[in-house]
Each structure stands twice: as C-alpha cells, then as structure tokens.
Amino acid sequence: MNFVLSNHAQAEMQRRGISLTLVSEVVNNPQQIVPERSGRKAYQSQVDLASGKIYLLRVIVEDNVNPIVVVTVYITSKIRKYWRES
C-alpha cells in the first residue's frame, strides 16, 4: 500500500528509533485496525523488538486519502489498553 509520512511521523520515528521497514510492515499487514479520533485509524501489530518482550506498534493514519498519510508512530508496552478483542 502506498503511504506518505508526515513530518511529525518522520521526526517521531527517528526520535523513537522505529524503522521505516517496521512501519511499512504494519501499514501493509496490520494485525488490527481500530478507529481513532478525527476519523483517523490506528494500524497496529504486536512486535518483538529482539528483546524477547512483545510491544504494540501503533501507526496512526489518515486512510481516507490516496496515498494514505502516516500521522504518527509509537511503540507501547500497554497492549491491553489499545488491543481490541473481537
């Protein structure tokens, strides 16, 4: 899927050490897509960052445009807070 990174998303990826490869994997194959504020969506997947601990990578996007826009990206250990059970 084609996407562009906002300036904010680029800065946050650099600050948080999140690779473009990882973001691309989640955008193209998210484990979940959940609604967020302002019509945005969180594309999210649980990932192992080589530490043996599972984290949640959340990619907040505006997907009502083409290409979609990645607004921000972050990793959290609070999986239960954001994960939606079906």
86 in a structural domain: no
Q: Say what the pTM is.
A: 0.93
> How many independent structural domains does the chain possess?
1
Q: Which domain holds residue 61?
A: 3-80
* Domain-embedded: residue 68: yes
pLDDT values of the chain reduced to their tens digit, one per residue, 86 residues: 899 999 999 999 999 999 999 999 999 999 999 999 999 999 999 999 877 899 999 999 999 999 999 999 999 999 999 999 86
- Contacts of residue 83, Cβ cutoff 8 Å, sequence gap at least 6: 32, 44, 46, 56
d(CA 52, CA 20): 21
